[in-house]
Amino acid sequence: MATKRHRVQVSPWFQLEHLFRKREFANLMAIYERNFRLLSDLAPGLAELPDTLISQVEGSNDLHWQVLDRQRYTTELMLTHYLDVGGERIADPDLRIRIYHDTRQVEMMCDVVCDDLLEVLARNQVDPGVQARRWTVNLFLNRWLEYCLIQGHRFVALELPSRCAQRTKTPAT
C-alpha cells in the first residue's frame, strides 16, 4: 500500500555532530533515545505492530519490517530494503535493531552486517575503532531512519474487518 509523502522535521546535523565530538556514555544514550523517537515516527504504536510489515512509497524501495523476538521490555527486529542485484534478492542495509520499550531507546545490533558497514565507513575515513563501533553504527541508524522518514515510509497496522458477521449453518428441520 503506497503512503503519501509529507514533510518531516529533521534536526540539523550539527546537533548530532556535537554529540559525536564528545564520546561520552550519556551522549551515546542520547543517540539511542533519538533513534527511538525516529523509529516511533516511522512505526507509530510500534509495540503493537504485527511481526511483518512492508512500507511502500512511490519512487522508493519497499521498506521491510520483520520482528525477530518480542519480550516484555525489548523487541528485536530487522529493517531492510530488498534490492534485485543480478537476479538475486539482496537485503541492503540489513539492519538488526533492538528496541528498549521501558527506557525508550533503540540500538543497532552489530554482527557481520555491521562489519561490512564499518569497512565501507573506514574506506571513507571514518574511524571504525573498537570504541567508535557503537557510535558509528548508531549514528548511521539515526541518519538512515531520517532518510526513510523523508522518503515517506510509515508502518501502520491495518484494521481487519470484524468476523462477527460470519455465516452460521442452521440445522435442517
Q: Answer whether residue 88 is part of any domain.
A: yes
**Confidence (pLDDT) at 26:** 81
Can you tell me the distance from the alpha carbon of 24 to that of 21, in angstroms, rounded to the nearest whole number? 9
Q: Answer whether residue 59 is part of any domain.
A: yes
Q: Let me know: does 79 contact 104? Beta carbons within 8 Å.
A: no
One-letter amino acid of 151: Q
Q: Answer whether residue 80 is part of any domain.
A: yes
Q: Answer whether residue 166 is part of any domain.
A: no
Q: Answer whether residue 11 is part of any domain.
A: no
Any residues with CB less than 8 A from the CB of 108 and at least 6 apart, and which?
35, 95, 96, 97, 114, 137, 138, 140, 141
**Confidence (pLDDT) at 161:** 43
Write out the three cell numbers for 153.
Answer: 515510509
Residues lower than pLDDT 50 in the chain: 3, 5-6, 13-14, 112, 130, 160-173
Q: Answer whether residue 9 is part of any domain.
A: no
Q: Answer whether residue 113 is part of any domain.
A: yes
Which domain does 36 fall in, by range? 23-46+54-151
Q: Is the dihedral of CA 37, 102, 22, 129 positive or negative?
A: negative
Number of domain units in the chain: 1
**Confidence (pLDDT) at 47:** 85
Q: Answer whether residue 161 is part of any domain.
A: no
**Confidence (pLDDT) at 169:** 32
Place of cell 503493537: 48
Q: Could you report the per-residue pLDDT of 125-150, keeping only the tens digit for each?
A: 555 554 577 888 898 899 999 999 99
Q: Let me know: does 78 contact 92? Beta carbons within 8 Å.
A: no
Q: What is the pTM of this model?
A: 0.73
